[in-house]
Amino acid sequence: MEKYKGTGLNASCKKLLLDYCFNELDLRHVEFKIDIKNVKSQKAIEKLGAFKRL
């Protein structure tokens, strides 16, 4: 949705999801699958502390 681009909403939602996964579900890791061509999404998730696993 165009009107939400650049608002930080996506990052906030991902942070909430990660907080829930780690703090409520007690998960040790979470895996995001992002298309190799979707560099914006890769960078966005890296800002939240994720890293690429090869």
* Token pair listed for 8: 């930080």
**Domain residue limits at 30:** 2-47
Show pLDDT as tens, one digit a residue, over the chain (54 residues).
788 888 888 889 999 999 999 999 999 999 999 999 999 889 999 999 998 887
Q: Is residue 40 part of a domain?
A: yes
Q: Is residue 54 part of a domain?
A: no
Report pLDDT for 8: 86
Distance CA 40, CA 42 (A): 5
Q: Is residue 52 part of a domain?
A: no
Q: Is there a contact between 11 and 44 (Cβ–Cβ < 8 Å)?
A: yes
Q: Is residue 42 part of a domain?
A: yes
| Vertex 45 angle, CA 10 and 26, to 5° | 90
In the block, tokens 């907080």 appear at: 19
Report pLDDT for 10: 87
Q: Is residue 33 part of a domain?
A: yes
Structural domains counted in the chain = 1
Whole-model pTM: value is 0.76
- Which letter, b or e, does each residue of 39-54 get, where b requires 16 or more Cβ atoms within 10 Å of its Cβ? eeeeebbeeeebeeee
